[in-house]
Amino acid sequence: MKIRVTLKDPDTMPDSVQEAFSRAPYPDGLSEVEWEQIRGDRAAAVQSDITSRWMPYAEYLVVEFDTDAKTATVLPASAFK
Cβ pair 13, 51 in contact under 8 A: yes
3-33, pLDDT tens digit by residue?
999 999 988 889 999 999 989 888 899 998 9
Q: How do the domains of the chain map onto residue ranges? A: 2-79
Confidence of residue 51 (pLDDT cuts 50, 70, 90): very high
| 2-8 and 60-66 strand pairing | antiparallel
Cβ pair 24, 39 in contact under 8 A: yes
H helix intervals, 1-81: 12-22, 32-54
Please report the pLDDT score of residue 81 as a whole number. Answer: 76
* Range 26-37 burial, b when 16+ CB lie within 10 A, else e: eeeeeeeeeeee
Please report the pLDDT score of residue 50 as a whole number. Answer: 93
